A and B are shown apart, each in its own frame.
Chain A
Amino acid sequence: MDYPLIGLAVSFSLGIIVGTYFRIPFFALCSIAITFLLFALASVKQSKKFSIYILLAVFILGALVLKNSQILANHHIARLIPYKAESVSVVGVIDSDPIYQERTTSFILRAEKVGLRDFWQKASGRILVRVSRKEAFSYGDRLFLRGNLYQPFSSPEGFNYKDYLRHQNVYLILSISKTNGSIKKIEQNCANPLVSFSLKIKHRLREVLVKNLSAFSAGILNALILGDRQDLSRYLLDIFMNLGTIHIIAISGFNVGIVALIILSILKIIKIPRRTRSILTILLLMIYCILTGMSPPVVRATLMGAIFLCAYFFKREVNIYNSLSIAVLIILAVNPWQLFEISFQLSFLSVFFIVWLAPKIKSLFPEKWDKIPWLRFLTLTFSVSTAAWIGLAPLIAYYFKTFTTLTVLANMIIVPYSAIITTTGFSLALIGIFIPSLAPVFAATNELLILILFKIHYLLINIPGAYFKLPEISMGNVLLYYFLLIAVVNFQKIFKSNFLLTLRKTMLN
């Protein structure tokens, strides 16, 4: 098998899907997994049998990991307070970077103790805290809070907030209003020092951007390089969404790639040896991953980047399908619910389709075009944009009910252009920290580039037929599309396969 890890990643994912729909007891799953592992051990000398048993064991493992995440610990806060309770006291540590909106502060809290009617008990699990006033808190603060605890609401149609929070292991919301509730800081720096350090860097970078740029440009650069989308206007997000370019303002592999390139270039310029350079880049990418909020696309890109740099370190060749599969396995092993998150699906599918389809599309152009730099650039950007569009169009239609006709053209212009903005944005953030007096000069260039970015979007979105709103489509149709796509792309392979030859012979006889 050329790509053994793809099989494992697919089996593991299928196991998670099956685990969601079928209620099989934990110990029954354990027994089946052990049986398959024993079969695999017995057939270790027979490659085909061994592979099948391993795939089956990994499939069961997927279901087991999901089952394990569904079973809450005895002292989990969601078990202590299953539905709702008023005037609950909680002691816990802030586990996320607090978000400040107009009149509210919100953050994730890792519960340590819960008090109900003066009876305190040990607790675990994460809750979402909403304070209806602006309060300055930081990641790692240990707090005493009192407020109303309740389950998030679920909606059968559209976006399901309850599921969204559950996928982040958050089962309850603690609401602290102005009149009913209290909040007090007990201690500081009680959480992971690496995360605290990363968030401090983030705040410093954010400060530079906010201080030197207009609110609009700071909002875009905050999203583009720090992963904070809270300052972006809704209308702007809608334009990006309708044109199919929203991925540039969500931290993704594209942004991580640029960051890795910047770090590697700086380290190369200051003459750091090759191997040390790889290790330092992996460490700095990890910090970047933490400061941008560790969303699935960033974790995916960081893991893949780290695998590539390790391969570079050990002078080994790396296969992109296998590294993509490792990233799938690691992310899903940590949190199997990510499989059902849109960002996870879009992130992995886009990389898969770019890697799989882009070379095929590029091969349709004459080879001599590769020798002319600007033609090579055009064919490359066209192939990558088209591959991502073909791969993601049905999923976007399913989730967002939109079909964009201009995605390929828009991405051919926007993606290389936003690479320039990301780099100039980083230059501004770093210059702003080290030589603040030079920051206004860099800020002026950033303002102009961002203004042009918006104008390009505005121009494209005004082209008639740039996008269409679609009626609801079913998941069955989406899967049928992917099945047909694979069949069409692999038509020759399938046609020449032994299976079809045998089938034809049988039919002729």
Chain B
Amino acid sequence: MFALTKEERQAILFLLAVAFIGLSINLTVKLNSHLEKIVKVDVNIAKIDINTANLDELLRSKSITKKLAQDIIQYRYLHGAFRDLEELKEIKGIGEKRYEKLKEILFVK
């Protein structure tokens, strides 16, 4: 029916597959809004949860030194979970500039 070359068939198949998957996702989310959490990217996806992260997880970021990671864990032990990321400034050695950097890496749920 269609006089297409192999490359043309592959390209059409690829584009249709991408469109089909996209349509299915859009439709699924429309019908079941609670599924949005699974298929859509969370704002904090590439950040570390400051209240649940252990030492190794905190050290995974180059911007967090061993001393800072230990201080964060100690703060959690002494004061309980962080309610706001601003509480980081209460840790010795964290000024405005360092806080701005850490804001990009850490988050409070």
Contacts and interface: CB of A to CB of B under 8 A. Distances in A.
Contact of A444 (B26, B43, B47, B62): B26
Interface residues of A, number: 32
B18 interface: yes
A348 B8 CA distance: 34
B22 A443 contact: yes
A266 B40 CA distance: 31
Given A423-B14, A440-B26, A447-B41, A235 B46 contact: yes
Contact of A445 (B21, B60, B61, B105): B21
A234 B105 contact: yes
Contact of A236 (B8, B22, B46, B101): B46
Interface string B3-33: 0010110110011001101110110000000
A268 B5 contact: yes
B21 A269 contact: no
> Which residue, of B18, B19, B40, B61, has the highest number of chain A Cβ atoms within 10 A?
B18
A291 to B, nearest CB: 23
Interface in B70-103: 101
Given A265-B7, A427-B15, A447-B39, A461 B60 contact: yes
Interface in A214-252: 214-217, 233-236, 238-239, 241-242
Contacts of B22: 440-445
Contact of B41 (A445, A451, A461): A451
Given A265-B11, A451-B39, A461-B60, A444 B25 contact: yes
B104 A268 contact: no
Contacts of A443: 22
A238 B61 contact: yes
Nearest to A271: B5
Contacts, number: 88
Interface string B44-75: 01111000000000001111000000000000
A216 B26 contact: no
Question: Which of B26, B40, B43, B60 has the most chain A CB within a 10 Å cutoff?
Answer: B60
B39 A238 contact: no
Nearest to A450: B41
Contacts of B19: 438, 441-442, 445
Contacts of A441: 19, 22-23, 26
A454 interface: yes
Interface residues of B, number: 29
Residue from A217, A239, A445, A450 having most chain B Cβ neighbours under 10 A: A445
B52 to A, nearest CB: 13
A448 interface: yes
A423 B63 CA distance: 32
Contacts of B15: 427
Contacts of A214: 40-41, 43
Interface string A418-452: 00000110010000000000101111110110110
B25 A445 contact: yes
B25 A448 contact: yes
A241 B62 CA distance: 10
Interface string A248-283: 000000000000000001101100000000000000
B5 A454 contact: no
Nearest to A402: B62
Contacts of B8: 269
Nearest to A218: B41
A269 B40 contact: no
A269 B21 CA distance: 24
A268 B7 CA distance: 8
A233 B104 contact: yes
Contacts of B18: 424, 427, 442, 445
Nearest to A236: B46
Contacts of A442: 18-19, 22
Interface string A336-358: 00000000000000000000000
A441 B43 CA distance: 21
B7 A235 contact: no
Contact of B5 (A217, A269, A438, A445): A269
Contacts of A450: 41
- Tell me which of B43, B45, B47 has the highest count of chain A C-beta atoms within 10 A of its own C-beta: B45
Contacts of A241: 62
B6 to A, nearest CB: 10
Nearest to B63: A234
A299 B101 CA distance: 32
B7 A448 contact: no
A216 B41 contact: yes
Given A216-B45, A217-B41, A450-B41, A235 B105 contact: yes
B7 A269 contact: yes
Nearest to B39: A448
B98 to A, nearest CB: 13
- Which of B40, B48, B104 has the most chain A CB atoms inside 10 A of its CB? B40
Contacts of A266: 11
A238 B60 contact: yes
B96 to A, nearest CB: 13
23 contacts: A214-B40, A214-B41, A214-B43, A215-B43, A216-B45, A234-B63, A235-B60, A235-B104, A236-B46, A239-B46, A265-B10, A269-B5, A424-B18, A441-B23, A442-B18, A444-B22, A444-B26, A445-B22, A447-B25, A448-B21, A451-B39, A454-B41, A454-B46
Given A238-B63, A269-B8, 9 more contacts: A216-B43, A216-B45, A235-B46, A235-B61, A238-B61, A440-B22, A441-B19, A442-B19, A444-B25
